[in-house]
């Protein structure tokens, strides 16, 4: 597998950076959440999404390797409604293993305990509900 995703017709999927801003964007509809939704509608639906999060503290490098990652509420001081948000996105252990292999010789842990933190699901809830 190359480092860039190539579709069957030979075109490449775009690489996109989403800055999540406040976790409250999950519950709101504003110019940011509308832009996330519009962007996801403007590109072909991906088979998988690789997220890099600054909110996941690990020793070394790790990749989520479970089939059903849990929704992590890694914040405090927000309304209860935000703690009730769930984002049941499917995981892909086989893709995680491919990512691990691509990053060699860097040692990558296959994690089956963490899940998706708000840096991931607060955006994806709007882009891919």
Per the rule left: phi > 0, alpha: psi between -120 and 50, beta: everything else, 41 is alpha
74-123 confidence digits (pLDDT tens):
999 999 999 999 999 999 999 999 999 999 999 999 999 999 999 999 99
52-72 confidence digits (pLDDT tens):
888 888 889 999 999 999 999
- CATH number for 65: 3.40.830.10
Output the pLDDT for position 12: 86
CA 106 – CA 31 distance, rounded (Å): 39
- On the question of pLDDT at 14 being above 90, the answer is no
Output the pLDDT for position 5: 54
Q: What is the dihedral of CA 62, 66, 69, 75, to 10 degrees?
A: -30
Output the pLDDT for position 23: 93
When divided into structural domains, the chain yields a total of 1
Domain residues for 94? 23-127
106: in domain: yes
- On the question of pLDDT at 16 being above 70, the answer is yes
Output the pLDDT for position 3: 44
Q: How many residues are listed for the chain in this entry?
A: 129
13: in domain: no
9: in domain: no
């Amino acid at each position: 597998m190359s480092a860039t995703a190539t579709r069957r017709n030979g075109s490449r999927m775009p690489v996109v950076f989403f800055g999540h801003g406040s976790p409250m964007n999950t519950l709101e509809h504003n110019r940011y959440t509308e832009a996330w939704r519009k962007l996801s509608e403007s590109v072909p639906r991906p088979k998988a999404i690789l997220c890099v999060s600054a909110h996941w503290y690990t020793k070394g490098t790790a990749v989520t390797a479970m089939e059903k990652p849990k929704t992590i509420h890694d914040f405090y001081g927000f309304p209860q409604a935000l703690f009730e948000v769930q984002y049941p996105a499917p995981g892909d252990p086989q893709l995680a293993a491919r990512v691990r292999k691509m990053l060699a010789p860097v040692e990558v842990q296959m994690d089956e305990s963490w899940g998706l933190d708000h840096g991931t699901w607060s955006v994806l809830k709007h882009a891919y509900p």
